[in-house]
Amino acid sequence: MVSLRDFLSDDFLYPMPVTMHDHYDFKSIEQDAQQDWDHGALFNATEDGAKEKFYCLAMFPYPSGKLHMGHVRNYTIADVIARYQRMLGKNVMQPMGWDAFGLPAENAALANNVAPAAWTLSNIDYMRGQLKALGFGYDWSRELTTCLPDYYRWEQWLFTRLVKKGLAYKKTAVVNWDPIDQTVLANEQVIDGRGWRSGALVERREIPQWSLRITDYAEQLLNDLDTLDGWPEQVRAMQANWIGRSVGVELHFAIEREIEGAEALTVYTTRPDTLMGVSYVAVASQHPLAKQAAESNTELAAFIEECRHTKVAEADMATLEKKGLPLGIDAIHPITGEKVPVWTANFVLMEYGTGAVMAVPAHDQRDFEFALKYKLPIRPVIAPLSWKAHLNCPIQAIEHIQLMWTDGIPKLLNMESGSVLNWDTWNDVFAEKGVCVHSGTYVSHPILRQQISRAFDGLDFFRAFDEITAHLEAHGKGHKKINYRLRDWGVSRQRYWGCPIPVINCPTCGAVPVPEDQLPVVLPTDVEMNGPQSPIKSMREFIDTTCPVCGGKAERETDTFDTFFESSWYYARYTSPGNDSAMLDERANYWLPVDQYVGGVEHAVLHLLYARFFHKLLRDEGLVAGDEPFKRLLTQGMVVADTYYREDAIGKKTWYNPADVTPELDDKARIIGAKLIEDGLPVMVGGTEKMSKSKNNGVDPQAMIDRYGADTVRLFMMFAAPPDQMLEWSDSGVEGAHRFLKRLWRMVFEHVARANEFAPTHDANPVGANLFAQHDLEPAQKAARRKLHETIQKVSDDLGRRQTFNTAIAAVMELLNELGKLDDSPASYTIRHEAYLAVTRLLAPIVPHIAEALWRALGQQGMVATAPWPLVDESALVRDSIDLVVQVNGKLRGQFSVAADASREVIEQAALADEKVQQFIEGKAVKKIIVVPGRLINIVVA
């Protein structure tokens, strides 16, 4: 049996110094704790093979000016995890840095006339101070800033390696072009199809750009998702969908008449079983065939021009009204030899697959709608699988399933079962995989008809897939192909504030990567932004250079990398700080993979996929050993707040900060309106939205820290919602968190103040004497100790496995409520002491400053940040009796207490004997009794 002594520190027996102030002075408490951590260099990590390592990482911030609540939430979650793991005895490394390249610096430069570099660096200084004030335990010696050459030189180096391996290549890609500002726009800079500054109608423009062959890694990126069992299922699903592996057929439609550069149209389909139902082929408006046809067709040319003004975002494409025009060209069906018209349609993307699709209106909703709109034929060739039960062989398929037409609308009739499918409106059944019918009978070519008539009838999807594919292959018209929705990653940006792409364009040698000894290509920072154009695009001293291959005159690439480039490998660089001769060194393999990664769900696909891709690139470069960068992932929800606004006569909204508004409540405390404090007049209540500048509903973390302290802010953030859900800001919730800390402080203060009364000396300890025998405790004291150790168990599980910090805090609150009810006896005093020592450590990861002060006040040496996590005393968890509830027909009717080891028979008898239960089963036959051990008994009566 474990003795209670094992769970009490030796210091417990010493008299405790009463040096505690009765007032919770968070300012000095937080300053002192932060100073102590600094002096002890507590969070600076070194590689130590003897200890289990734990690499905890929160997504680094973009230095936009000051921290917002989303950051505070993100970093608090990560810090809680890091501090918890440290107390478990692990060698914890938690770094911080700055994702310092990006568009906002350019916008700020234009608005305030400051250089992006200066703006960014001063933001970093301010935000670093804020992070320190929040008490996050970072190893600042590893701090990195992506806009500095000592960081980005290594991604330039990696890129040149990728160019040599053929993993980086140049191709044309579509961008949003602002014809007035003469610049490329980001999707967010395009508002209602117009440039945000110029108001010009934005065009789609194709320009040559660098791409990375992420599609070469598609299979690995997909397969390795299965190994990421520490990731949320939801994120893995999103990535799998994004990669979008499909098995299909690539096939060719010949073009009826010779057209230069396009002798055949290649399309990809996952539904070759519907091939016999193709009634037209659609190509992108930028497809060479469409461009050709437009030369002699002004209507077509106008349509193509119109398509140039759609935004490049997929969401905009998807909600677009489907439009198209015939090219006046026919394609030859690869099996039947029939002519089908070629159309151009605005929903077909040139950069997606082959830029052409085959259309089967009978079995694809989008094709169906398009066919109805433009009166194109609809040919049903698939009957529902359920119809197959009636069909015994291919010949019968034809005989029993009849195709009829009314005003050009087809109908399938199953003569055996009487079922009918009518193509007058769309039905999702049409798109389901079924049985091929009429797949060959309409063929017009007399010889072909004989050969293939009825060839595919009666086949189900899989057999039809195989036979049609085999037929195409045999005739050289197509082949099976695995396709990915994932496209190669275009990394060129025509912007200034980014990492220069290390390439020299030579008129004779082409695009040449900058040689290793000439890296880094440093981005000039002494620039003036006097327009939206990147200043380096006209900076001759940057551009003019010589070709490293031929030595002739050449020009530097002025495009910069997508900022996802920097964030794709920063997690690895943290492991090798200060190395100026290599991107990474052997320290990377000590720390990697990241054990815990924490960041917003909004990064679930792009950033996390790119980082996984980069990790595989680094692996193939021999720089890291593992396959995946992030072992466990926590995606945290957004921070939202109420919004308030007023609308003026022309409908323009002015948003008011929640701090400047008083909500009005009805007698049930529901919000019915709000008034602006300044003028006392009403404002509109706009609902709860993500904290943002545009809605002016942001709450400044700094103001909260000043008013309540970092611990209160941290506690509120962790308590108000589980980490993966959205968090609603609430001023009174923050006050509640502060109140809890004050209460905790006071409870410990009162406890410490009585130290001399109860625990005077080591030797003559009257308390210790009756403590070591657990069974000497009163039932209430036993219950309190059980609660304490149940709480230790729960908090450990909540912080470790479950990562539900809100329930961990609630459990501690419950415990403190129980302790408050305990009597004043010496034994109770000791239990309280044991409890406060535990509670201080349980809360230390969440509210580390106050925990340090309490730890000291409770007479402990050293810092709680490195104290060992409390252990569970299993013997304290043992119960003599348990409470069970009784249900009759599933409804709660009574409850009683039995010995913990009571047999099933005893429990059943006790349940049946219960007075209230008797009332409900009286005169009825008991059919069944269900006993759920430790929980309930359900008596089922007739």
Q: Would you call 327 helix, strand, or coil by DSSP? A: strand
Task: Tell me if 175 contacts RNA by CB under 7 A.
Answer: yes
Q: Which is nearer to RNA, 259 or 912 (CB)?
A: 912
174/242 Cα distance (integer angstroms): 20
* Residue window 780-799: x/- pattern of binding to RNA, with contact defined by CB under 7 A: --------------x--xx-
Q: How far is the CB of 744 from RNA (least distance, A)?
A: 10
Residue of 485, 537, 619, 646 that binds RNA (CB under 7 A): 485
* Residue window 365-394: x/- pattern of binding to RNA, with contact defined by CB under 7 A: ------------------------------
Task: Tell me if 733 contacts RNA by CB under 7 A.
Answer: yes
Q: Which is nearer to RNA, 57 or 604 (CB)?
A: 604
Residue of 212, 332, 486, 501 that binds RNA (CB under 7 A): 486
Cα 384-390-395 angle, rounded to 5 deg: 90
Q: How far is the CB of 730 from RNA (least distance, A)?
A: 6
Q: How far is the CB of 511 from RNA (least distance, A)?
A: 16
Q: Which is nearer to RNA, 334 or 500 (CB)?
A: 500
Part of the chain binding RNA (CB under 7 A), chosen from 109-117, 393-401, 407-415, 740-748: 740-748
Residue of 140, 196, 242, 426 that binds RNA (CB under 7 A): 242
- CA-nearest of 840, 894, 839, 892 to 864 is 840
Stated length of the chain: 942
Task: Tell me if 186 contacts RNA by CB under 7 A.
Answer: yes
Q: 850: Cβ–Cβ under 8 A, 6 or more apart, which residues?
A: 24, 26, 29, 711, 741, 744, 745, 843
Tokens (6 digits) for 77: 């979650």
Task: Tell me if 730 contacts RNA by CB under 7 A.
Answer: yes
Task: Tell me if 918 contacts RNA by CB under 7 A.
Answer: no
Part of the chain binding RNA (CB under 7 A), chosen from 38-46, 47-55, 173-181, 537-545: 173-181
355/340 Cα distance (integer angstroms): 17
Task: Tell me if 930 contacts RNA by CB under 7 A.
Answer: yes
Q: How far is CA 923 from the centre of its chain?
A: 59
Task: Tell me if 494 contacts RNA by CB under 7 A.
Answer: yes
Q: Which is nearer to RNA, 301 or 813 (CB)?
A: 813
Q: Would you call 507 helix, strand, or coil by DSSP? A: coil
Q: Which is nearer to RNA, 494 or 765 (CB)?
A: 494
Task: Tell me if 670 contacts RNA by CB under 7 A.
Answer: yes
Q: How far is the CB of 640 from RNA (least distance, A)?
A: 8
Task: Tell me if 124 contacts RNA by CB under 7 A.
Answer: no
Residue of 483, 596, 830, 887 that binds RNA (CB under 7 A): 887
Q: How far is CA 606 from the centre of its chain?
A: 9
Tokens (6 digits) for 463: 């057999």
Task: Tell me if 234 contacts RNA by CB under 7 A.
Answer: yes
Task: Tell me if 807 contacts RNA by CB under 7 A.
Answer: yes
Q: How far is the CB of 396 from RNA (least distance, A)?
A: 31
Cα Rg of the chain (Å, integer): 35
Give the long-range contacts of residues 398-402, CB within 8 A, separation 24 or more: 398/437, 398/438, 398/441, 398/454, 398/457, 401/437, 401/438
Is 760:15 a contact under the CB 8 Å cutoff?
Answer: yes
Residue of 721, 835, 865, 876 that binds RNA (CB under 7 A): 721
Q: Which is nearer to RNA, 202 or 300 (CB)?
A: 202
Task: Tell me if 822 contacts RNA by CB under 7 A.
Answer: no
Cα 376-381-382 angle, rounded to 5 deg: 125
Within positions 431 to 460, which residues make up the interface with RNA, using CB under 7 A?
A: none
* Residue window 609-638: x/- pattern of binding to RNA, with contact defined by CB under 7 A: -----------------------------x
Residue of 230, 337, 377, 490 that binds RNA (CB under 7 A): 490
Is 728:49 a contact under the CB 8 Å cutoff?
Answer: no
Q: How far is the CB of 152 from RNA (least distance, A)?
A: 14
- CA-nearest of 304, 99, 103 to 187 is 103
- Helices 731-753 & 701-708, crossing angle to 10 degrees? 30
Task: Tell me if 707 contacts RNA by CB under 7 A.
Answer: no
Part of the chain binding RNA (CB under 7 A), chosen from 412-420, 502-510, 558-566, 871-879: 558-566
Task: Tell me if 725 contacts RNA by CB under 7 A.
Answer: yes
Task: State the residue for tokens 């479950």.
Answer: 802
42/44 Cα distance (integer angstroms): 6
Task: Indicate the helix (H) or strand (E) that contains 10.
Answer: none
Task: Tell me if 534 contacts RNA by CB under 7 A.
Answer: no
Residue of 158, 173, 512, 554 that binds RNA (CB under 7 A): 173
Q: How far is the CB of 43 from RNA (least distance, A)?
A: 24
- H-assigned helices in 475-536: none
Tokens (6 digits) for 175: 């961008």
Output the DSSP codes for 648-664.
-TTS-EEEE-GGGEEEE
327/378 Cα distance (integer angstroms): 19
Residue of 889, 898, 902, 912 that binds RNA (CB under 7 A): 889
Residue of 668, 680, 915, 925 that binds RNA (CB under 7 A): 668
Task: Tell me if 603 contacts RNA by CB under 7 A.
Answer: yes
Q: How far is the CB of 941 from RNA (least distance, A)?
A: 9
Within positions 266 to 325, which residues make up the interface with RNA, using CB under 7 A?
A: 312-315, 318-319
Within positions 891 to 910, which residues make up the interface with RNA, using CB under 7 A?
A: 891-893, 895
Within positions 197 to 226, which residues make up the interface with RNA, using CB under 7 A?
A: 209
Is 719:728 a contact under the CB 8 Å cutoff?
Answer: no
Is 478:466 a contact under the CB 8 Å cutoff?
Answer: no
Cα 274-457-268 angle, rounded to 5 deg: 20
Is 155:147 a contact under the CB 8 Å cutoff?
Answer: no
Task: Tell me if 885 contacts RNA by CB under 7 A.
Answer: yes
26/710 Cα distance (integer angstroms): 8
Task: Tell me if 736 contacts RNA by CB under 7 A.
Answer: yes
DSSP state of 9: -
Part of the chain binding RNA (CB under 7 A), chosen from 49-57, 248-256, 536-544, 560-568: 560-568
Task: Tell me if 883 contacts RNA by CB under 7 A.
Answer: yes
Q: How far is CA 651 from the centre of its chain?
A: 35
378/408 Cα distance (integer angstroms): 8
285/345 Cα distance (integer angstroms): 6
Q: How many DSSP H helices and E strands does the chain contain?
A: 31, 40
Is 913:860 a contact under the CB 8 Å cutoff?
Answer: no
Within positions 838 to 857, which residues make up the interface with RNA, using CB under 7 A?
A: none
Q: Which is nearer to RNA, 209 or 286 (CB)?
A: 209
Residue of 669, 681, 764, 925 that binds RNA (CB under 7 A): 669
Part of the chain binding RNA (CB under 7 A), chosen from 369-377, 482-490, 693-701, 775-783: 482-490
Within positions 579 to 598, which residues make up the interface with RNA, using CB under 7 A?
A: none
Residue of 181, 562, 595, 711 that binds RNA (CB under 7 A): 562
Part of the chain binding RNA (CB under 7 A), chosen from 32-40, 384-392, 522-530, 731-739: 731-739
718/732 Cα distance (integer angstroms): 15
Q: Would you call 622 helix, strand, or coil by DSSP? A: coil
Q: Beta-carbon neighbour count of residue 283 at 10 Å?
A: 28
Within positions 71 to 100, which residues make up the interface with RNA, using CB under 7 A?
A: 99
Q: How many residues bind RNA (CB under 7 A)?
A: 105
139/95 Cα distance (integer angstroms): 5
Q: How far is the CB of 209 from RNA (least distance, A)?
A: 6
Residue of 20, 56, 80, 184 that binds RNA (CB under 7 A): 184
